[in-house]
Amino acid sequence: MRHRIREAMAEIDRALEKQAEPLKGMPVIVNHKDLSYLIAWLGMREVGALEPKRGLPPTSAQLGDRLARLAKEPAISYSRHSSWWRSPLRG
């Protein structure tokens, strides 16, 4: 039984890695570094984080630094807010 579970999990991993191929090497800026493990697994490049520490809003100087960095190297943005999970808009 455990062997079949491991095989199924390995198959899921391979399928996810295949779907994530287009993301490899893509620069991404995140809200904070709570998803660094996922970004690394997907092969993306984390080029910055908006919040220096989780829950600590960035200063205007830090935001200016991120904007300057993005002007030189455009990146996709990933942001998620914990209150979204409790939101009536979630659908």
DSSP 22-49: GGTT-EEEESSGGGHHHHHHHT-EEEEE
Q: Tell whether 15 is covered by a domain.
A: no
Residue 19 has pLDDT above 80, yes or no: yes
Residue 86 has pLDDT above 60, yes or no: no
Q: Tell whether 16 is covered by a domain.
A: no
pLDDT computed for residue 37 by the predictor: 85
Nearest Cα neighbor of 58 from 35, 29, 86, 38 is 29
CATH of the domain at 48: 3.40.50.1980
Residues in the chain, total: 91
Q: Which residue has the tokens 């199924």?
A: 8
pLDDT band of residue 78 (cuts 50, 70, 90) is low
Structural domain count of the chain: 1
pLDDT computed for residue 90 by the predictor: 45
Mean pLDDT computed over 44-59: 83
Residue 77 has pLDDT above 80, yes or no: no
How far from 4 is each of 8, 15, 17, 39, 71, CA to CA, in Å?
6, 16, 20, 28, 49
Average pLDDT in the chain = 82
Q: Which amino acid is at 51?
A: E
Q: Tell whether 52 is covered by a domain.
A: yes
- Which domain covers residue 43, as residue numbers? 22-90
